[in-house]
Structure 1
């Protein structure tokens, strides 16, 4: 059986391209992971997600433990079989969702007790329980259980939270045990404070993980603050292991993160935007609800080969969005996921060719030009 491993094939400045090897297939990096929160990427069939170029999906521990429950998924053969996705799956630990429930949770050294957003029932998540749930789901990449403080916060609050997360990281490592073919990633915390980030990275390296995530960004601190952390944080982590920036992001966030040494990202944005009438293209963001598209026979992006661009006009996409037809979210989500995977493929090729700076300059120039002129 293929074990979990990471091969770097090229670098360009801080940027890297390579392959994560897993028993369920290879993940080309830099990789964008579509988010399948409740065992589905909303508005997409799994084979359609694969057709966009995705090598790996993200599943959500918090949502799946509440409904349909990890135990039920395990009885039904595991998450891959349950959702008809045979390629790699990464599951988050539940920590971020529990952070967003601050009003209905109780946090202790042991873990977090919280009320379900579905029916108010009480649940407990600890590092040990998070590892148990993710094992029941059968995910290929398991995330350590952490606490993610909302920013802005003072250094004392961030430091206390980070050190709790590091104690939980050790407990996650102990509870994960030896699972050949499955990987456990630790999560660096520390807000926007360099010393705390370095302390967190040092502790994670002592514990030893198969990959390392940078957590606690994209939580309201803004792109400038995020990039300033990414200017140094990836360098604190082992160069021979994957680096995952959690919850990012917009296309220009992704390009900036890859240039700073990030290998993996995830975000709900392409699918959520698709359901609200927003399309991401090489020329920036398009709002399909705008009246300017009503009589426009042209595609969203003439250079895009997705079904929405190949077979449908802006006028049609405008119409079905206005009519609240289901196909609207389906086509726009497909387009957005296709655009994101095209962007990743372009970044990988540019890094391999040593042409990243030219690729980045062209990326920003095309976006600055804006959408095609109205007819």
Structure 2
């Protein structure tokens, strides 16, 4: 990660200028300037296979001139990142599309960034509290204008329904704290939703979290054991994290396999049926988004 998101998470301690973002230490130990060049220096030193440009990040529900300013600055910072990138042959620098919820600004950003010779693109500035109808429309607008032969990485998305819908809309890659964060609250992900294993109903439930899951947690521990462990030992959170990450990886693997087999629409319909039980419970935004790419639901 380039560090751009800290402009939002540490907004009270940061100041954005054309030079970069200056962070003020809460402990009085001085300021730190994170510039596009410094971001690339750090990422080059880390040696990641995929590195991200430093972008000017604003909250997804931000309106007004700040959105346009951040989008255009992100384009300028992309050029500075490209110039500073020392290992373009072995570290793949992705551009990050910004523009908030404004179709015209996002289109302008897409037009500008796709003129640059980068190996992949991230869709940024979403999944930050905006209405789901706005969310999926901005995702679709972005994927429709991105090159079909380069990866599309949707940032900050991790709910299972969001993953399935956004793959249908044309996204390839995702990142999110959701599977690990929800594990810390005692919640295990399953195809029909989640299990809150702190609840007393699991005290004498000796089944694994999911009998069809082959992760180490499901192979080695029962719901009852995890329920008891959650009351006294942080190791329970580690076990749930292993399971939740395995669930997400399995979901993505299943989607890839269904695409290769030419049965992705059927996969989506099966997923929604298991996840929500009845057609009446399907989220309206998901139904609408899937219909926009010709995947009608039963």
TM-score by length of 2: 0.89
More strand by percentage: 1
* 1:273 counterpart SS class: helix
| Runs of 4+ in structure 1 over 6 Å off | none
Distance 1:120 1:265, change over 3 A: farther
Structure 1 position 120, deviation (Å): 5.2
**In structure 2, distance between residues paired with 1:118 and 1:207:** 40
**2-structure distance, mates of 1:336, 1:121:** 39
| 2:250 maps to which of 342, 362, 367 | 342
- Matched residue of 2:5: which SS? helix
Deviations, residues 318-352 of structure 1 (Å, cap 9, x unaligned)? 100012x1220111001001100110110001111
Structure 2 counterpart SS, 1:142: strand
Matched, 1:132 2:41: yes
Which aligned pairs between 1:307-326 and structure 2 lie closer than 5 A? 307-323=216-232, 325-326=233-234
Structure 1 unaligned blocks of 5 or more = 1-91, 371-375
Q: Could you tell me whether the CA contact under 8 Å between 2:60 and 2:128 is conserved in 1?
A: yes
Contact kept in structure 2, 1:140 and 1:181, CA below 8 Å = yes
Correspondence 1:230 to 2:154: no
Aligned to 1:357: 265
Matched, 1:109 2:31: no
Match of 2:276 in 1: 368
Offset from partner CA, 1:230-276 (integer Å, 9 cap, x none): 22211111111111001111111111111111011011111111122
- Check whether the contact 1:223–1:253 (CA below 8 A) recurs between aligned residues: no
Where relative contact order (Cα < 8 A, 6+ residues apart) is larger, the structure is 1
Q: Tell me the residue number matched to 1:209.
A: 118
Select 1:175's aligned residue among 77, 80, 84.
84
Corresponding residue for 1:245? 154
SS class of match (2:88): coil
Q: Is the 8 A contact 2:61 2:101 kept in 1?
A: no
Question: Higher helix fraction: Structure 1 or Structure 2?
Answer: 2
Q: Distance in 2 between matches of 1:144 and 1:255?
A: 26
The alpha-carbon distance between structure 1 residues 119 and 365, as it changes in their structure 2 partners (threshold 3 A), is: farther
Residue 161 of structure 1: which of 70, 73, 76 is its match?
Answer: 70
Contact 1:99/1:147, CA 8 A, preserved across alignment: no
Counterpart Cα distance in 1 of 2:132 and 2:28: 36
Match of 1:73 in 2: none
Where do residues 1-375 of structure 1 align in structure 2 (5 Å cutoff)? Answer: 92-116=1-25, 121-177=30-86, 179-323=88-232, 325-369=233-277
Distance in 1 (CA, whole Å) between partners of 2:87 and 2:230 is 49
Question: What's the Cα RMSD here?
Answer: 1.6
With the length of structure 1 as denominator, give the TM-score of the two structures.
0.71
Give the Å deviation of 1:117: 6.0
Distance 1:218 1:129 in 2: 27
**Structure 1: distance between partners of 2:199 and 2:212:** 22
**Residues 117 and 342 of structure 1, relative CA distance in 2, 3 Å threshold:** farther
